[in-house]
Amino acid sequence: MTEIVGFTLDQLATDIEALEQYIAGGGALQLNICTEDIPTEADLASLVLNAEQAGFAMTFPEVSLQSGVPTTSFTLSGSTPRSNYLGAGIPTGQWQVLIPLLTPLATIGIIAYGITKVGDISKAIMPILLVAGGIMVVSIALLRRPAERYLERGGRVPYLPSTVTLNNIPATVSGTKIKDIDIPSGDLKLSLPTAGIWLLLAYDDEIDHTTKVIKTWLISDVQDINNNFADGVPFSLLENAVKKVPQLEKVIFDQSIETGKTEPFLIETNRKARKCRFTLNGEVKEVACYYMVKVVKARSSTVYGGRLNPKEYLPSVVDLPDCTPLLENLPATRQKRKYIYALTNFNSGYYFTPDFSYERQGTALDILAKAKGAGESTIQIWNDAQTGYWKQFGYKEAKQSISIAEAEKLLGVARKEEVDQGRDPDRPAITLVEYTPYKRIRNIKGLYFPATVQTEFQKAKETWDKSGEKERERILIHIGYFPSERFFDWNELRQDRKIWIVDYFKEEHPGLFEGLTPSKKTATGYMTTNPPSPIEHNGLQYYVHMTFPTRMEAEEEAEGLRGSGSPSKILVKPWEGGYVVYEHPLTWDEEKEVFVPDTVHGWMKTPPLDFIEVEGVVYRRHINFPTRKEAEEAAAGLKHCKILIRPWEGGFVLYKYMSPAVRDFKPGEHTQNLIESVRDEKEAIAMYHDFADMADEMGDQTTADLYRHVAAEEEHHAEEFGQRLTELGGALKYEPVTAEFMAETIAVSGYKDKLDQAFQEAIQRARG
C-alpha cells in the first residue's frame, strides 16, 4: 500500500501525479482530505459533479470527524479520467485536473491530505479501509497542526444545539436574561414558587454536537432570582464550586485566556466572554462557554440558558417594567396592525389573532362565503386599522357581531376602496372572524381589547390586582405587535405565565425603545445545518419529523401529530434559531399487543453498510425494510439484479449487485454518442447486450458484466419510465386499439392482403 501525505493543494498536485504511475495498471486511490470545517452537502455535490464531468470515477465523498478533524474521504478509480471507456489505454497526466475540482474543500481550508493507493477498487470501497486511511491521515494532520488549532475552533463553531439534557429533564434554552420574575416595580408581579436555582456551565462538543455540562451549581443560598441575575453571579461562587469537583482542576474564563488576568465571571456583564479553559482529567480544553440557569419551580423545571457567542442569539424579549415607557408613549392612534391582548382565564375560552384568521381561514370573502354556506345569520367582524371603516359606519367597537348582509355591505365598500387604491381587493383591510376553529387549535379563551394600549393595559392591571394570588398564576397578559416573524414563544408563555413583550416596531418608533434591550430576530429563516437526528430523550430515540422557523408552528405541528391518533411520542426542540419537531415512532405489534418502535420510519439506529462484498461480488445497498418479508417482496420485483438480503439492527437491508466497474462506469464519448444515436430504448438495451457479447468473445469478462448490468438496469428503468410517463401524461399506461383502428394500421402497413393470402394458403396446406 503506497501512501503519501501532504498539506497544500500544490503538494497534492505533485503527489497525485507521482502516484498515478503506480496505478497505471488499475487499482484505485483513496483520498482523505482534512479540512478546517465540515464541508456542506453542496460542497460535496459540487465536487462530485465537477469530477464526473472531468471524467473521474469516484465514490461519493464520505465526511467524518476523525479525532475532531473533519475528514473527507473518497476513492478514485485508477482507470480515470476516461475520455472513452471503450478505448484502449489509460490517459495519463490528467490527474492534475482533479486539483481545481477540490476548490470547495480548499475554500473551507485544507489542513492535510493523504493519498493511499489501494490494489483493488472493490476493497477500496469497504468502509473499514476508509476508516483506517482516515485515521492515518488525521493523525498526521494533528501532528502538523497542534491541537490548539482545533480547540480554538470550538470558539467559533457557528451553530450549536440549543438544547441540554440534565438529569433527563428536557431543557429549553430560551434567553440570555432572566429578570422578569418577582420584579418589585410596583406594577405587575408574578409569583413563582422557587425551590432552588442552579447555574450550569456548559459547552458544545463539536464532535458529537451535544452540550456538555461541565458543572452545575445549586445557588441555594440565594433566593432572590432577580437580584442575582441583575448583578451577575460572583466569580467566587464559581471558583468555589470548581474546587468541589475533583476532576475539574481549574477553570479560567474568557479574557483571562488572552490576558492572563482572571476576571470575575459575571453573567450579565460578561456577555463578550466566549471561551473558558479548563483542565479535566489532565487534559486542557478551551471551549466556547454557555451559562445556563435552571430555575426549579414547584411543579416543573425549566432550564434557561444562553450562549455567550455568537451575539446574534440574543433574545427578542424584554421584561415588563422596562416597557412601561413604551406603553405610556405609544400613540393613541395605532398604526398598521398592533394589538394588545389580555388573555384571561387561561385554560378555557377563545384565543385569536387577525393574522391567524387571515392565514387559517382564508380571506374575508372566503370566511363570509363559508358563514353563509353554514347558514349563519351573524358573523364577527373587526377593522384591521381601527381608523377606517368602523368610523364611517359609526361603529365604536373594533369587534362586533353583525349580520351577514351587513358584512357583505361592508366588505363591498372595503373591496372597492382597495381597488381604488390600486391594491388587491381580495385582501381588504377588514377581517371577518370565525371563532370556532380556535377552540380546536388552542382551547384557550381570551378577551380582545381593541381600545388603546394604555387603556387596556390599565384594564389588565385592574384585573390582575383584583385577582387572588392563585388566580394570578393563570393570568397572562400578552402585548404584541403583528405581523411578527417571531410571534412569541408559546411554550414559555404556557409554562411560565410570564409577561412578555414580543417584538415591536422599532423602525416606526425608535425613541420608544431607548434603554431597552435591543431585539434581534432569532427565529427567522430556517437552520443552515441539519438538526441532530436521532436524539435521545428519556432513553428514547427521537427522529426529526419537520423543522419550523417558529416555535408556534412547531407546536402546532406537534399538536396535530399528538391528536392524530398515532401512538408516536412527539418532542419539540430548538435548533439554530428554528424549532424541530421530533418523533419517536411507535407501531402496534399485533402479536405481542404492545407498541414497538416503528422501524419503517425509525429505521436502524445506525445506517447499514452501503457496500458489502460476498464471494468477491460487491453489493450496493438499495432499500431498508422493517421485515424480511417486505425485503423479499421487493427483491422479487428486481428481476435483473443479484440480490442479497441482510439483517441490520432490527431491520433488513436489500442489497443489489453492483460491481465496482459498473458503479464507476461512465460511458465514453464514443459510447455515449452511440447510445444517444439510438433513440429507441429497446434497441439501446439490445445494443448493451451486443456489447456484452462482444466483450465475452474478446475474453473481457469485466466489461461484459458491466454491459449486462447496464442493460438490466435500463430494462428495469424502462418499466419505471413507462409508469412515470403515464403519471406525467406523456404516455399511456394502457394502449388500446379499436377494431377499426387496428384494421386501418394493418392496411396502412400494406400487409393485410399478404397476411390473408399467407394464412389461407397455410390453412389449406396444413389441413391437406
Residues near another protein, by CB under 8 A:
680-682, 718-719, 722-723, 726, 729-743, 745-746, 748-752, 754-756, 758-763, 765-767
Residue placing its CB nearer to another protein in the complex, 195 or 732: 732
Minimum distance, C-beta of residue 762 to another protein, in the bound complex (Å): 5
Q: CA-CA distances (angstroms) from residue 87 to 665, 668, 713? A: 13, 8, 23
Q: In the bound complex, what is the minimum distance in angstroms from residue 673's beta carbon to another protein?
A: 20
Cβ neighbours for 69, distance < 8 A, ≥ 6 positions apart: 34, 35, 111, 138, 141, 142, 150
Residue 584, beta-bridge partner list? 569
Q: Name residues whose C-beta falls within 8 Å of residue 720's C-beta, 6 or more positions apart in sequence.
A: none
Q: Residue 208 or residue 761: which is nearer to another protein going by CB? A: 761
Q: Which of residues 507 and 680 has its CB atom nearest to another protein in the complex?
A: 680
- Cβ closer to another protein: 378 or 760? 760
- Phi and psi, residue 248, nearest 5°: -100, 105
Q: Which is nearer to another protein, 405 or 755 (CB)?
A: 755
In 3D, which of 212, 184, 182, 208 has the Cα closest to residue 197?
A: 182
Rounded-to-integer distance, Cα 313 and Cα 176, Å: 9
Amino acid at 623: I
* Shortest separation between residue 633's beta carbon and another protein, angstroms: 17
Q: Which is nearer to another protein, 88 or 734 (CB)?
A: 734
**Least distance in angstroms from the C-beta of 717 to another protein:** 12
The whole-angstrom distance between residue 161's C-alpha and the CA centroid of its chain comes to 12
Closest separation between CB of residue 639 and another protein, Å?
11
- DSSP for 457-475 reads HHHHHHHHHHS-HHHHTT-
Q: What is the dihedral of CA 171, 176, 181, 182, to 10 degrees?
A: 130
**Which of 592, 371, 339, 643 is CA-nearest to residue 484?**
339
The least CB distance from residue 636 to another protein, in Å, is 14
Strands 643-648 and 540-548: unpaired
Strands 430-433, 378-383: pairing kind: antiparallel
Minimum CB–partner distance for residue 709 and another protein (Å): 21
Please give the backbone phi and psi of residue 573, each rounded to the nearest 5 degrees, phi first. -135, 145
Closer residue to another protein in complex, CB, 434/714: 714
Minimum CB separation of residue 759 from another protein in Å reads: 5
CA distances from 488 to 27, 502, 719 (A): 59, 6, 51
Residue with C-alpha cell 387596556? 456
Residue 733 CB, shortest distance to another protein, in Å, is 5
- Report the 3 state secondary structure along 670-713: HHHHHHHHCCCHHHHHHHHHHHHHHHHHCCCHHHHHHHHHHHHH
C-beta of 683: minimal distance to another protein in Å? Answer: 9
Which lies closer to another protein via its Cβ, residue 360 or residue 752? 752
Shortest distance (Å) from residue 641 CB to another protein: 18
Q: Identify which of residues 470 and 733 has a Cβ nearer to another protein in the complex.
A: 733
User: For 228, phi and psi rounded to 5 degrees?
Assistant: -60, -50
**Beta carbon nearer to another protein, 195 or 762:** 762
Q: Which is nearer to another protein, 391 or 682 (CB)?
A: 682
Q: Is 53 exposed, middle or buried, given 0-12, 13-18 or 19+ CB atoms closer than 10 A?
A: exposed
- Closest distance to another protein from the beta carbon of 745 (Å): 6
- CA triple 744-749-753, angle to 5 deg: 85
